[in-house]
Amino acid sequence: MANAEISSAELDNIIDPPALVQGKGDLATITETVSRVAEHKPPKAWYIGFTLALGILGMLGLAIVYLISTGVGVWGNNQPVAWGWPIVNFVFWVGIGHAGTLISAVLYLFRQGWRTGINRFSEAMTIFAVICAGLFPAIHVGRIWVIYWVFPVPNQMAMWPQFRSPLLWDVFAVSTYFTVSLLFWYMGLVPDLATLRDRSKTKIRRLMYGIFALGWTGANRQWHRYERAYLLLAALATPLVLSVHSVVSFDFATSQLPGWHTTIFPPYFVAGAIFSGFAMVVTLAVPARALFGLRDLITLRHLELMNKVIMATGMLVGYAYAMEFFMAWYSGNKYEGFTFVNRAFGPYAWAYWIMVSCNVISPQIFWFKKARRSIPIMFVVSIFVNIGMWFERFVITVTSLNRDFLPSSWNYFSPTIIDWATLIGSFGLFFTLFLLFCRYLPQVAIAEVKGQTPHAHGHSAH
């Protein structure tokens, strides 16, 4: 963006300003619109939502305390479905996170100006989703107090981790992903925190925002390095986000199990991750923009573009579902074939068809512009996609395991009440963090949106 070679005419073509920021759209209005949310008492709905989220979070806390004090036997995981609920939830939440990085990093590299309205939002979603995701493998290990064994730190057994295990790759991929996402998000926040600091009326607000704004003054020499660092982080986060879900898919793909052992998994998982993440952004953005008066910054155009991405990635996962069946037939492997017939027509057929109808069929409505721009339709579809993508991970994990090579050990997996409490509780954690973010931090990247307005571009100087 700091590239001076691009002429202003070209810039105007690229950023398409009028549709992205509606209303008056001058710099002060943008500052006011976004900062106002963090500076005033939130609407009643926020309090209701926060109380609810906090209560569900408490339930998660109780479920985890019970789990750790008793043991993982309180979950429904058992042979042959040893990988049950926790891995499903882990993959579900990691996948949600991916849209945030995609919006903030990949669209940045592609110079997609429209990302500025939603990137802060979705980056926050990424971080909270990765926190929820990281929770599941952590509590799944059983003895959580020795979780540090997954890291290469010296321990009393003088042993090192097994670096050839995809589960260990996961540790590195997910922790790197969380770290880089946090840095990226925080770096983007600094200039906006400086804005909140400079607008603050009370000493405590000035101090808190001031400390986290790191003394930012908006000096151009600082902007110069800041922009370069932002570009570098975006360039680093792009391959990272692709690697994270690829590595997550390796957990499955590197094992010799029909239904898991396929090379299509990495791209299939990445497409699914983007799909579910965009759906979650829509799920969150629709109520947030109404509640906090951000309709001028998160416009219908933003939502429509996201719906296009949802439809495209939905068809990608649909293609992957079809290709899996094709490969099962084309390979001539009867075990592979059985797994897929069992997947669609076996005891979990209900889950399979929920997945197909939510993920493949429901986004097809976005072929119609009217549907793409209809708030109720997109909200419902986004919820469907969230459900469908959760079931996708359920189907992959459970249907591949529940009928393994030994028919005598076939079993039907059923979650326990603790499984349910943990899954629902993780939504409590997610929404608690998200609502706190909505309340105290700028939900829209103020400085970046300003960069997309006509006011930000000089005319006489070029």
Partner 1 sequence: MSDSKKQFGVLAEYETVDEILSAAAKVRDAGYTKWDCYTPMPVHGLDDAMGVKQTRLPWFTLCAGLTGASLGLLMQWWMNAVDYPFLTSGKPQWSLPANIPVIFELTILFSALTTFFTMWIMNNLPRWFSPLARVERFARATDDRFFIAIETADPIFNAASAESLLKETGAHAIEAVEDPDESAAPPTWFRHALMIAGTGLIIPLMIIAYARFSTQDQPRIHLVPDMDFQEKYKAQNPSPLFEDGRAARPQLAGTFAMEDDHLVLEDPGYYTGKVDGEYLTEIPMPVTRELLERGRERFMINCAACHGYDGSGNGTVHKRALSLQTAGWIPPSNLHQAYIAAQPKGQQFESISDGIRNMPGYKAAITTEDRWAIVAYLEALQGIEEAGAQQLWGAAPAVEDAGPVDSDPLVAKGRELYTSKTCIACHSLDGTKLVSGSFLGLAGSERKFTDGTTAIADEAYLNESITNPNAKIVEGYTPGLMVIPPITDEEREALVAFIMSLKQ
Of the candidates 83, 80, 49, 148, the residue with the CA atom closest to the CA atom of residue 419: 83
Exactly one of 44, 110, 145, 407 binds partner 1 (CB under 8 A); that residue is 145
Least distance CB 408 / partner 1 (angstroms): 26
Supply the Cα-derived Rg of the chain in whole angstroms.
23
Answer for the pair 210, 197: CB distance below 8 angstroms, yes or no. Answer: yes
Q: How far is the CB of 250 from partner 1 (least distance, A)?
A: 7
Site for partner 1 in 53-112 (CB under 8 A): none
Backbone angles phi, psi at 201, to 5 degrees: -100, -30
Instruction: Answer yes or no whether residue 203 interacts with partner 1 by CB under 8 A.
Output: no
Q: What CA–CA distance (Å, rounded) separates 48 from 45?
A: 5
Interacting span for partner 1 (CB under 8 A) from 48-56, 158-166, 407-415, 420-428: 158-166
DSSP 117: G
b/e 135-153 (16+ beta carbons within 10 angstroms → b):
bbbebbeeeeeeeeebeee
Give yes or no for residue 459 binding partner 1 (CB under 8 A).
yes
Interaction between residue 250 and partner 1 (CB under 8 A)? yes
Beta bridge partners of 81: 78
Binding-site member from 239, 287, 295, 331 for partner 1 (CB under 8 A): 239
Distance CA 246, CA 424 (A): 26
Q: Which stretch binds partner 1 (CB under 8 A): 27-35, 84-92, 101-109, 355-363?
A: 27-35
Q: Kindly give, in sequence order, each residue whose CB lies less than 8 Å from that of residue 298, ignoring residues fewer than 6 positions away.
A: 117, 118, 121, 285, 288, 289, 444
Provide, rounded to whole angstroms, the least separation between the CB of residue 12 and partner 1.
Answer: 12
Q: Which of 122, 126, 243, 276 binds partner 1 (CB under 8 A)?
A: 243
Shortest reach from residue 246's CB to partner 1, in Å: 8
325 part of the interface to partner 1, by CB under 8 A: no
Torsion (CA) 72, 256, 247, 391 in degrees, nearest 10: -60
CB 110 within 8 A of CB 15: no
Using CB under 8 A as the binding rule, whether residue 216 contacts partner 1 is answered as yes
CA dihedral 265, 266, 269, 273 (to 10 degrees): 180
Single out the residue of 99, 423, 435, 447 in contact with partner 1 (rule: CB under 8 A): 447
**120/372 with CB nearer partner 1:** 120
Using CB under 8 A as the binding rule, whether residue 158 contacts partner 1 is answered as yes
Residue 31 CB, nearest distance to partner 1 (Å)? 5
Per CB under 8 A, the list member of 24, 36, 111, 224 interacting with partner 1 is 224
Q: Answer yes or no: are the C-beta atoms of 127 and 287 closer than 8 Å.
A: no
Q: Would you say 58 or 152 has its CB closer to partner 1? A: 152
Q: Which is nearer to partner 1, 187 or 417 (by Cβ)? A: 187
Among 59, 147, 183, 316, binds partner 1 (CB under 8 A): 183
Closest among 243, 238, 245 to 272, alpha carbons compared: 245
List the interface residues with partner 1, window 161-180 (CB under 8 A): 161-164, 166, 168-169, 172-173, 176, 179-180
Question: In the complex with partner 1, which residue's Cβ is closer, 195 or 443?
Answer: 195
Which residues 7-26 are close enough to bind partner 1 by CB under 8 A? 11, 26
For partner 1, the closer CB: 181 or 397: 181
Which of helix, strand or coil describes residue 5?
coil
CA distances from 172 to 4, 120, 175, 326 (A): 38, 25, 5, 33
Residue from 57, 94, 96, 194 touching partner 1 (CB under 8 A): that is 194
Q: Does residue 38 belong to the site contacting partner 1 (CB under 8 A)?
A: no
- The token pair that represents 151 in the structure block: 């890291």
Helix axes 166-199, 27-39, angle to 10 degrees: 110
Of 199 and 301, which has the nearer Cβ to partner 1?
Answer: 199
The size of the interface with partner 1 (CB under 8 A), counted in residues, is 76
